[in-house]
Structure 1
């Protein structure tokens, strides 16, 4: 059976993530040790023990989630489970590219820490944010953003699944957009626990700073197809990967389209690799017929191995 690996992004972090994998599997332990050595501090302790406030900081959350995802990935590969295609939500795209052999884990963990720093510094703290709009389709949300733009920058940035679109921008414009969305029939507007308007045009300075860092990182062509957030299509060359990673910082994450692109290739089984189960939840809202399992600890790993064994 062909399987797609999907990797979570920021917001999936929690204190204790990856600890059981570290304790049970040498491949996972080596991954955390490699991250600690590459970054020059004990990221593993932050993942396992917190404090939660420190783990939430973008500059820490991004390398932490990547490390847990790659630890789970390496254990899956040792167990003989290999993907035919991969994708990652925002930050998770780096995990997908590590899986495809495009970028080394040691380089990726350093790059995403800088990415987190650049994204945090692009907009003054407290002036921007993100909000999930539930119950409206994308054209309606885009119209709401257009009408609210008189109050500042606000844009649709995470196109996650039917009825869930995340908007990002300046706080006054976000509040105006939420009021307009409720008038238009939205069920709820949920502020996200992030400190900046990720994937909006306000992040363009962060993208340009990231470009200079990526130019120094060696990359190979992906060993198997990886779907890019920016295009919702496969990338096949390392040069294309770098440009899309720059644009990804200030462009919408076209997640629903990305999942449909993978399903159009005949894949009906997905494994969410890393902390949380957010992506499996989104996938079920996109297509209830596909199967999705998550791997983030030894118990969930055993379940996935058993399920994949049953379906062949």
Structure 2
């Protein structure tokens, strides 16, 4: 761990969708921590995780049970490279959905080999909770959050026709999910309500809806056999956007998270309220960097996937 402790540095860890064949190739060549972390993941999971990243195919990489451990591994690998090169320890960490597990590894709340097996189970359970084709998700841009919620509430009709707002990503950017027909109906209604864009997402399950409760039960059982320690820095929970420092509470919230909306805008606001003005996105892609900038233009944001970017952010 870097010894320097800064009160204003927040680390953010991305979720599913950030994966790409060939990601982290430059970082792998530059930092030995990348290779050793991927080897640890391969040992834990029983297949060559780095080979899947390098060679693909993209369809394999996009299977939820493969995607989740791969993004977690990539994020933790970059965090280890950051620390090994003298990077400051963050004062707070947060992750988007799956990314919350990466954040907990960085905060020393979850052991890495436990986490990588856990998210594989989480991915399998999420895929099995709803048959392929039954559920759907869509991104809605340019409609106030409360209007999106109101439309979803109006359209939802019992257990077989459900749609809800599941990711509050930034002001004016909300993801909805549920049964495919209900999502389709909501897309049409939100376009009428003035949405700039309302587009289906290429995912195979309605994440963060009540339809995911069976997956929550699987995760709860898996977590009952794993230690979740008190983190060394606070972790912001997706479920309530509050700072968490108690391992027992974190364990409960990880189960709730599967079937609860991701309150990402509020998570970022919580970090801003804590005085954070420097944000590092630690993992593949730059999605979270863009979302932070939509919440506050006054902060500095850096993504450290590329070696030069990581070194530059440390300096």
Return the TM-score normalized by structure 1: 0.96
1:138, distance to aligned residue in structure 2 (A): 0.9
Deviations 1:13-72 (A, max 9, x none): 000112222222111111010000000001111112110011011010000000000010
The reply on whether 1:231 has 2:228 as its aligned counterpart is no
Q: How does 1:138-177 map to 2 (within 5 A)?
A: 138-150=145-157, 152-177=161-186
Q: How does 1:1-312 map to 2 (within 5 A)?
A: 1=6, 2-81=8-87, 82-150=89-157, 152-305=161-314, 309=315
What secondary structure, in the 3-state scheme, does the structure 1 residue paired with 2:239 have?
A: coil
Report the Cα distance in structure 1 between the residues aligned to 2:104 and 2:304, rounded to whole angstroms: 18
**Structure 1: unaligned runs, 5 residues or longer:** none
Deviations 1:254-297 (A, max 9, x none): 00000000000111000000000000000111111111100112
**Structure 2: unaligned runs, 5 residues or longer:** 1-5
Report the Cα distance in structure 2 between the residues aligned to 1:19 and 1:120, rounded to whole angstroms: 28
User: Alignment RMSD, CA only?
Assistant: 1.0
The more displaced of 187-196 and 204-213 is 187-196
1:183, distance to aligned residue in structure 2 (A): 0.9
Report the Cα distance in structure 2 between the residues aligned to 1:200 and 1:126, rounded to whole angstroms: 15
Return the TM-score normalized by structure 2: 0.95
Deviations 1:196-239 (A, max 9, x none): 00000100010011100000011210001100000100111111
Is residue 135–residue 186 contact of structure 1 (8 Å, CA) maintained in 2? yes
Report the Cα distance in structure 1 between the residues aligned to 2:226 and 2:124, rounded to whole angstroms: 17
1:302, distance to aligned residue in structure 2 (A): 2.6
Report the Cα distance in structure 1 between the residues aligned to 2:309 and 2:120, rounded to whole angstroms: 28
Report the Cα distance in structure 2 between the residues aligned to 1:292 and 1:71, rounded to whole angstroms: 20
